[in-house]
Structure 1
Amino acid sequence: MHELRRIVGFLGQYRRDAVIGILLVVIESAFEMVIPILMADIIDVGVATRDVDYIVRQGMYMGVCAVLSLVTGLMYARFAARASYGLGAHLRAAEYERVQGYSFTNLDHFETSSLVTRMTTDVTVIQNALNAGFRPMVRGPVMLVIGFALAFYLNTELALVFVAVAPVMAVALVLIVRHVGPLYGVLQRTVDRLNDVVQEMLTAVRAVKAYVRGDYECEQFRRVNEELAGTSEHTFRFAVLNMPVLYVSMYTVTTLIMWFGGQMILGDALAVGELTGFLSYVMQIMNSLIMISNVFLLLTRSLASIHRICEVLDEPVDLASPEHAATEVEDGSIEFRDVSFKYRADAQANVLEHVTLSIPAGSTVGVLGGTGSGKTTLVQLIPRLYDATEGEVMIGGRNVREYDVAALRDAVAIVLQKNVLFSGTVRENLLWGDAHATTGELLEACRQARVDEFLDRLPGGLDYDLGQGGVNVSGGQKQRLCIARALLKRPKVLIFDDSTSAVDMATEADIRSALASLTGVTKVIIAQRVSSVMEADQIVVLDDGRVHAVGTHAELLASDNIYQEIYASQTKQHGPCGDGGAAAQAGAVQAADALVGSAASPHEEATSSSHDQLDPSKGGER
């Protein structure tokens, strides 16, 4: 019930509409409950005495009550709709805002499909429950109380017949609700799985078609769709039992009342009009019980959705800005002080182990290592996408935990391993980097990222529609657009997470040349190709989450066996690198000097190193 009260609190300014709706339902019910008394008077007084004027007058009163009941009912519908849909809008906004504040760790706790279901289907369940259940939720108890009072007023003996049957209905309803309640939670989780399959298929539809796996995906959908159908059938098979129970009880009560009432009429203890009016109240009471039972079922299903929504709202955000947080990053210097990290507290091994690094402001640092060595994890600690498990990560001389999270991430631009573009035009995507950038600034960023090489060929240029997720451009073009977007932030730290793997060597050399002209920006470049980082001020070699070596290209080529192996594999030098002695190392250094010389000419590099384009881009590493 605490969660229910909490959800009601999201009505906000629509609370007034809800209160007015309640009052209108009470007034509507009161008008309806007066009608049977007027009808009884017409039969017992007007018809019995053949007083036509009395019949007409009472009939007019009945008509006025019916019209007023209709008007208040229509007014209620308007206010109830406003309250329910306003609540739904507030809940979706609250969930969406909460998710925006999540760290990567928080997002790991929920499947994407589950979050989509919680923001759509679960909110709709609550919204419909309020819209459809608001009237019976108020009207049912009001009619029940007033109906009982007036039934006892008309005839106490007949009212006791109904009282004897009421406990049977109550027990049956409680048993049904207790059994159905948990099934609604299972039903919503099944909807999660259905959304997961649909989302995965639509996201990877090109791969599905390329591998001719349409039949497999159809089978996956058929299985989860049948699971949802079976779960729904099982759930609602029990949910609908309340109606037969209530109708059997209603007809049993009606039969008993007519039997005892008839006996009382024959004994002159009851008038025909009283019995007619009493039966009307019995019908009103039974209808109110049916409404209350339906409300209980709606509420039971809503409670399952309310719990799922509260899980999103109550998820503790582990990356919050501290009080009196620093809002300005002095420079782009980066330091890792004995940093260890693991994604889950219960993980047996760390992803990073005792990493200690110092990166001066304005320098360029390359990061190399095998798949799974922790390269992406390392750079994700810089903008505090995750927090270090042990040790400290420093930027601008301060621990990243001391900064306002938004200010820290504004000072750090990261081009992710997986390129992300949004539905909209080229201009709209680039403006993510700087919402106030002029057309000239956009074009300059495009020039630096070499987007200008294909921008003129796009219909509309900056106003070209990229489609959903940027499906209208190639992988290399996506990477260059993401780089341009990052450059528009004018950050103090610029991180490239294997962000040029899909571009050719000549274009990559041009991008490196443009980046070299950026002053006062610390650049961290994760790469698979040695040629991408060989001109860096220092290169960090990671191995199994540890810093294996740090140095310049020439230093590592002369002394580090892992770097030598990477270099040899990419230049097709298969001689002994790690244990081959001074002669082999000298030969490697000479080859490195030749490669450095060729790098001065991007187009020569593109020609001499064309085999590098066959190197697959890294995938799947976190």
Structure 2
Amino acid sequence: MLKLFRYIKPYRGAVLLVLIFTFLQTLSELFLPTLMAGIVDDGVSQGNIPLIWRIGGIMVAVAAGGVICSIVASYMAAKSATGLGRILRQKVFSHVEKFSLQEFDRIGTASLITRTTNDITQVQQVTIMILRMLVLAPLMCIGGILMAVTRDPGLATVLLVVIPVLALAIFLIAYKGIPLFKVIQTKIDTLSRVTREGLTGMRVIRSFNRTTYEESRFQEANEDLTQTSIRVNQIMGAMMPVMMLVMNLATIAIVWFGGDRIQNGHIQVGDLMAFLQYAMMIMFSLIMLSVMFVMIPRAQASAVRINEVLQMKPDIVDPDQTGRAVHGKGHVVFDDVTFYYPGAEEPALTEISFEAGPGEVTAVIGGTGSGKSTLISLIPRFYDVTSGNVKIDGLDIREMSQEDLRSKIGFVPQQALLFTGSIADNIRYGKEDATDEEIRHAAVVAQADEFISGMEGGYEAPISQGGGNVSGGQKQRLSIARALVRRPEVYVFDDSFSALDFKTDAKLGAALKSETTASTVLIVAQRVSTVMDADRIIVLEEGKVAGIGSHAELMESCSVYQEIVSSQLSEEEIA
């Protein structure tokens, strides 16, 4: 957890003030029992009323000063801890934004969400306690021991017995409970994942009548977390009764032996009262430390998970020097590309070579699992090739910065994703400074203007989370408009027309043809009707090129393509 505290540097001044005011607060609390002893021994016992008023006034002033110091220290501690939480959330989110798809696959989205929220909150809460209790408790404990010994060294022998007993109890309880906190965080991840899947997949769950199954799945994860939490709290819950038992026994012993020492004339009543208060301070400081022992292990488990994210280096990074600027028209070349997914024994793509030039439409078609989407994902460098290279305008994309590379590409993913906001906001996501006219033009080309105009609010109509208030075809058309508005050099459509009817598909294809005449267009599609007019069709089978050519050429030379066509088109349509 110490590694994370380097991010608290902007709040060094506030932390310093916490230490100063906590020290002053401790001094005031340690001084009060001494003043009280003076009132009892020199004022009450001798009937000296003016002395009682004078020392009482000093006590009120010291107590008020202690309260002010406590308030300031608490405020500064909260400010520092919440500032640390804000910085950590920003650091984690910014770092995760640099991850390739491999890192997302490795950690998991649900775990990343938990680490960014729950884990950082744990660290934030314990930071407040560290700044206050971890400073206050040792000062009060050490100061209390010194002040108690000065009051009566003989009576201090009681503390020599009590303190080790308390320390041993704290150690044994913490030893049992600490390992379980790491388990809890893992089980929170599991519960988060089950919850996320259950909520995002609600339509599928209901359509297959699997509500009961998902409820039992959630209940199992919830119960697992609950039982582990109960076990931890049972262990940690034993701490307070043990502390109170030892404290009460210590009080009895101090009063018992203190009474004898008063009777023998070694100390006065005020000294015993002060000693008793110092003993309570010492034991309460140990209880505060025990609370820290409860909280720190859990925060430490969270800190390890946060550091794991921050220290994870993305597999895909920009070149050491600033990526070379490329000026061209988006000429894409795959040169003997082979790609393995991490840990896979067989390649997803094997020795893929082709060219796609400006003004041309290159289509990729093949059966399920043939590697179509994998091939397309290599162009914006979502993954790096295992061997060979992908070039744009003669330059290996690994020699370009990711920002420069992706600024050249208009990417439409297989699963259309919309963000919360208006329709205009979602289209403008492709180009921040797009004008209203550019947005409308992109929507017209994407065949989205008609349904947008029919919505209440038009282009300012709201889109709910994930685009839940529009159909699949409408989401695809808005995603296409988002890519069109940036007017890139390379368009990549990853099976982006699957939810469109044949009429809309045909109209969109004709509109795109006139809109993208100066750009390179790559289309992944399942429908033969979508790709048959392409300038070049790449047929994939089991990650290998089964054929490249026009529709007519492939109908004569590629059996795989012939099978795909015959499965989708009638003999009249083929003819």
Match of 1:348 in 2: 345
| CA contact 1:539–1:553 (8 Å) conserved in 2 | yes
Tell whether 2:210 aligns with 1:213.
yes
Alpha-carbon distance, 1:290 to partner: 0.6
Q: Which amino acid in structure 1 is aligned with residue 111 of structure 2?
A: S
Q: Distance in 1 between matches of 2:189 and 2:327?
A: 41
Tell whether 2:527 aligns with 1:529.
yes
Tell whether 2:462 aligns with 1:465.
yes
Alpha-carbon distance, 1:331 to partner: 2.8
| CA contact 1:355–1:547 (8 Å) conserved in 2 | yes
Q: State the superposition RMSD in angstroms.
A: 1.5
Task: Please list, as runs of the form range in 1=range in 2, the aligned pairs for 1:507-586 lying within 5 A after superposition.
Answer: 507-517=504-514, 518-573=516-571
Task: Please list, as runs of the form range in 1=range in 2, the aligned pairs for 1:99-498 lying within 5 A after superposition.
Answer: 99-324=96-321, 325-344=323-342, 346-498=343-495
Match of 1:82 in 2: 79
The correspondence for 2:49, drawn from 48, 52, 55, is 52
Structure having greater relative contact order (Cα 8 Å, sep ≥ 6): 2
Q: Which amino acid in structure 2 is aligned with residue 125 of structure 1?
A: Q
Q: Which amino acid in structure 2 is aligned with residue 157 of structure 1?
A: G
Would you say how many aligned residue pairs link Structure 1 and Structure 2?
573
Q: Distance in 2 between matches of 1:379 and 1:131?
A: 48
Alpha-carbon distance, 1:401 to partner: 0.6
Q: Distance in 1 between matches of 2:403 and 2:272?
A: 73
| CA contact 1:144–1:285 (8 Å) conserved in 2 | yes
Q: Give per-residue Cα distances to partners, 1:464-517, cap 9 Å, x unaligned.
A: 112111111111111111001001121111111110111111211121112222
Q: Which amino acid in structure 1 is aligned with residue 528 of structure 2?
A: V
Q: Distance in 2 between matches of 1:377 and 1:568?
A: 25
Task: Name stretches of at least 5 consecutive residues in structure 1 with no aligned partner.
Answer: 574-589, 595-622
Alpha-carbon distance, 1:314 to partner: 1.1
Task: Name stretches of at least 5 consecutive residues in structure 2 with no aligned partner.
Answer: none
Q: Which amino acid in structure 2 is aligned with residue 186 of structure 1?
A: V
Alpha-carbon distance, 1:49 to partner: 2.4
Q: Distance in 1 between matches of 2:324 and 2:388?
A: 20
| CA contact 1:181–1:304 (8 Å) conserved in 2 | no
TM-score by length of 1: 0.90
Q: Which amino acid in structure 1 is aligned with residue 86 of structure 2?
A: A
Q: Which amino acid in structure 1 is aligned with residue 533 of structure 2?
A: E
Alpha-carbon distance, 1:547 to partner: 1.0
Alpha-carbon distance, 1:252 to partner: 2.6
Q: Secondary structure at the match of 1:332?
A: coil
Q: Give per-residue Cα distances to partners, 1:293-328, cap 9 Å, x unaligned.
A: 111211111101111111111111111111221243
Q: Give per-residue Cα distances to partners, 1:429-458, cap 9 Å, x unaligned.
A: 001111111111111111111112212111
Q: Secondary structure at the match of 1:525?
A: strand
Q: Distance in 2 between matches of 1:519 and 1:566?
A: 28
Q: Give per-residue Cα distances to partners, 1:80-109, cap 9 Å, x unaligned.
A: 221121111111111111111111111111
| CA contact 2:326–2:395 (8 Å) conserved in 1 | no
TM-score by length of 2: 0.97
Q: Distance in 2 between matches of 1:139 and 1:129?
A: 14
Q: Secondary structure at the match of 1:120?
A: helix
Match of 2:65 in 1: 68
Q: Which amino acid in structure 2 is aligned with residue 534 of structure 1?
A: M
Q: Distance in 1 between matches of 2:564 and 2:156?
A: 91
Match of 1:34 in 2: 31
Q: Secondary structure at the match of 2:463?
A: coil
Instruction: Work out the percentage of aligned pairs sharing the same amino acid.
Output: 39
Give structure 1 regions of 4+ aligned residues with deviation exceeding 4 angstroms: none
| CA contact 1:150–1:281 (8 Å) conserved in 2 | yes
Q: Give per-residue Cα distances to partners, 1:248-275, cap 9 Å, x unaligned.
A: 2222322222222222222222222111
The correspondence for 1:6, drawn from 3, 6, 29, is 3
The correspondence for 2:40, drawn from 22, 39, 43, is 43
Q: Secondary structure at the match of 1:180?
A: helix
| CA contact 2:358–2:517 (8 Å) conserved in 1 | no
Q: Secondary structure at the match of 2:328?
A: coil
Deviates more, 1:180-189 or 1:559-568: 180-189
Deviates more, 1:493-502 or 1:238-247: 238-247
Q: Give per-residue Cα distances to partners, 1:531-579, cap 9 Å, x unaligned.
A: 1111111110101011111111111001110000011111134xxxxxx
| CA contact 1:333–1:362 (8 Å) conserved in 2 | no
